[in-house]
Amino acid sequence: MKKYTEMTKEELEALKKELLAKYKEYQAKDLKLNMARGKPCVEQLNLSMGMMDVLSAGSDLTCDDGTDCRNYGVLDGIHEAKVLLADMMEVGVDNIIIYGNSSLNVMYDTIARSMTHGVMGSTPWARLDKVKFLCPVPGYDRHFKITEYFGIEMINVPMTPNGPDMDMVEKLVSEDESIKGIWCVPKYSNPQGYSYSDETVRRFARLEPKANDFRIYWDNAYTIHHLYDDKQDELVEILAECKKAGNPDMVYKFASTSKISFPGSGVSVLASSLNNLEDIKKQLGIQTIGHDKVNQLRHVRYFGNINGMKEHMRKHADILRPKFEAVLEILERELGGLGIGEWTKPNGGYFISFDSLDGCAKDIVARCKKAGVEMTGAGATYPYGKDPHDSNIRIAPSYPPISDLIVAAELFALCVKLSSIERLLSK
């Protein structure tokens, strides 16, 4: 297959005419397909329906320690749930607090608390002239929305297959006291599906930030979200590494069961040092008397232990794997060797990251939308929605039925070709 960059103007014009005819055929189909967000599909949600039956009016809702889950109390989560989620987080039971259904809400709260009351006695961020955050890019749009909402200046840090550019991270945090944190999705990252290397994790643990209230926001959202049994990315545990490095308080580690049980009715968790947890509980004890213990008990009764949870995730993988493989097969078949795009091939998580020729991403997404396929907005994977190269597009294969997904992926590839040709012709 000849690369588009090697084609003559006449060859590109002829190919464009042929592809436009195909594009019009897609438009005539009146499609309404959505690949915009990493939502679990109906089949995945159905996997957890048994959870609705583990508790009933006749169930004993008392914990092993005698706690009645129907009543007030237990600020940081029932013991059984802490055991289950501590195993999922690979930390000790004493190092976690269990919250409600949304880890994003916990991250928002953590930033808000730092703004109004500071971190472990430090000056509240709202009183400082400047507060900055490091943002590995491309990254998770909802992280960036939180820091943008609070007026925190965001600094792009390039991602590599091993994690963020650590030379840049080390330099920036050691020199600038106004840098207070960094967003991280360390395992099967959003959107590239990269997992941080052992060296990257250890370099994070050994950071020497100028700000004593600097924290690593470690969003381990896809901790057990593998696509393959025989190709599972493993991650060095960051809290243990920080403790070894003499930086025990430097990390907030977040996760939830949102893409394990029900996204709207899961359980979220924060893991950190005892010092950080003590600081957080001061606010938490004013904010709430305790989160939903009945739901915590429901998760424990349904999964039993971490092995039950991992077995459940194998069923998720069986649903997701064919979808990822279908998209990757179409990208390779339609775009492989053309020199107009590159994409990741993750072993887990929820996304495939696609990089087009510079200046094409917005046009590709707009063309898809005109033909009835909704994609994540171009630029969403960068702070302020500004992709400096206008090249990154996040592909979310999870939600559509596979028959729809195939149509959407083929249309996407067609739009990549058309946008690339127009870009090349304009030069």
| pLDDT for the residue 323 | 98
What is the full per-residue pLDDT of the chain (427 aa) written as tens digits? 799 999 999 999 999 999 999 999 999 999 999 999 899 999 999 999 999 999 999 999 999 999 999 999 999 999 999 999 999 999 999 999 999 999 999 999 999 999 999 999 999 999 999 999 999 999 999 999 999 999 999 999 999 999 999 999 999 999 999 999 999 999 999 999 999 999 999 999 999 999 999 999 999 999 999 999 999 999 999 999 999 999 999 999 999 999 999 999 999 999 999 999 999 999 999 999 999 999 999 999 999 999 999 999 999 999 999 999 999 999 999 999 999 999 999 999 999 999 999 999 999 999 999 999 999 999 999 999 999 999 999 999 999 999 999 999 999 999 999 999 999 999 8
Do 289 and 362 fall into the same domain?
Answer: no
Residue with the two structure tokens 């040092």: 273
Do 291 and 318 fall into the same domain?
Answer: no
- 90 Cβ neighbours under 8 A, 6+ residues apart: 223, 237
| pLDDT for the residue 37 | 87
Residue where a domain stops, chosen among 304, 319, 338 = 304
Do 186 and 140 fall into the same domain?
Answer: yes
Residue where a domain stops, chosen among 304, 334, 361 = 304
Number of domains in the chain: 2
In a domain, 229, yes or no: yes
Q: Between β-strands 33-35 and 373-375, what pairing exists: parallel, antiparallel or unpaired?
A: parallel
- Sheet of 352-356: strand order equals 341-343, 352-356, 392-395
In a domain, 183, yes or no: yes
**Cα–Cα distance, 107 to 219 (Å, whole number):** 9
Q: Do residues 220 and 186 touch, judged by C-beta distance below 8 A?
A: yes
In a domain, 49, yes or no: no
Q: Which amino acid is at 225?
A: H
In a domain, 355, yes or no: yes
**Cα–Cα distance, 262 to 380 (Å, whole number):** 25
Q: Which amino acid is at 190?
A: N
Do 164 and 16 fall into the same domain?
Answer: no
| pLDDT for the residue 78 | 98
| pLDDT for the residue 288 | 95
Do 68 and 204 fall into the same domain?
Answer: yes
Do 266 and 379 fall into the same domain?
Answer: no
Do 231 and 87 fall into the same domain?
Answer: yes
Residue 319 lies in domain: 4-44+310-426
Residue where a domain stops, chosen among 287, 304, 321 = 304
CATH code for position 187: 3.40.640.10
Do 293 and 319 fall into the same domain?
Answer: no
Do 13 and 66 fall into the same domain?
Answer: no
| pLDDT for the residue 394 | 98
- pTM (predicted TM-score): 0.97
Do 296 and 325 fall into the same domain?
Answer: no
Cis geometry, peptide bond prior to residue 397 (ω within 30 degrees of 0)? no
| pLDDT for the residue 251 | 98
For residue 52, how many other CB atoms are within 10 A of its CB?
Answer: 12
In a domain, 54, yes or no: no
**Cα–Cα distance, 222 to 270 (Å, whole number):** 14
